Structure 1
C-alpha cells in the first residue's frame, strides 16, 4: 500500500489536466467568460488539494479577478493553459 493515499488522485488530476487545458482554451477562443470563471474556480481548489500549488495559485489569481469585478487577464488564462498542459503526462 502506498504511503501517500492521495497519489492515485494526483495521477488522475494530472491525466485530466490536458483535457482541462483544452476546455479552458476553447472557452477562451469562444470568449465564454462564465466558463473560464467556472473552470478557474474549480481548478483553484482541486489543484491545491492535490499539491499542485503553482496551478492553484494561477487559477486563484483568475478567480480573484472575477471576485473583485476586474477585467479578465487573458495572459493569466493563457499561462494557466500552459501550466495545465505541462502537468499532463500526455502532452
Structure 2
C-alpha cells in the first residue's frame, strides 16, 4: 500500500472522527445513550488502528461503562469529544 493510500485512509478517519465528535456532542445533549454507545464502540477500535491511543482508550472506557450496565458521566464523554477535536485538528 502506498503512502498516498495510507494518507487518504488516515484523512477519512480524521473526517469521520470529527463527525463522530459532533454526533457525540448532539447525542449527549439529547440524552441518546444508544447513539453514544455506538459511536464510542466504533471509535474504540478505529482510533487505535491509526495510533490515536488516548482517543481509543477513552472511547473504550465509555463503551465498557455501557457494557458493564452503567452510564458514563457527561464529563467522561466531553473529555472524549475534546480529545477527538484536539488530536484530529492537530493531525490536519
Shorter-chain TM-score above 0.5: yes
Per-residue CA deviation, residues 13-64 of structure 1 (Å, 9 max, x unaligned), is: 1122221111000000000000000000000001111111110000000001
Task: Identify unmatched segments of 5+ residues in structure 2.
Answer: none
- Residue 87 (structure 1) shift: 2.4
- Paired position in structure 1 for 2:30: 30
- Paired position in structure 2 for 1:79: 79
- What do you get for the CA RMSD once the two structures are aligned? 2.1
- Aligned pairs, how many? 90
Report if aligned partners of 2:17, 2:43 keep a CA contact under 8 Å in 1. Answer: no
- Paired position in structure 2 for 1:70: 70
Higher helix share: 2
Which range moves more in the overlay, 9-18 or 76-85?
Answer: 9-18
Higher RCO, 1 or 2 (CA under 8 Å, sep at least 6)? 1
List aligned pairs for 1:1-91, cutoff 5 A: 1-2=2-3, 6-89=6-89
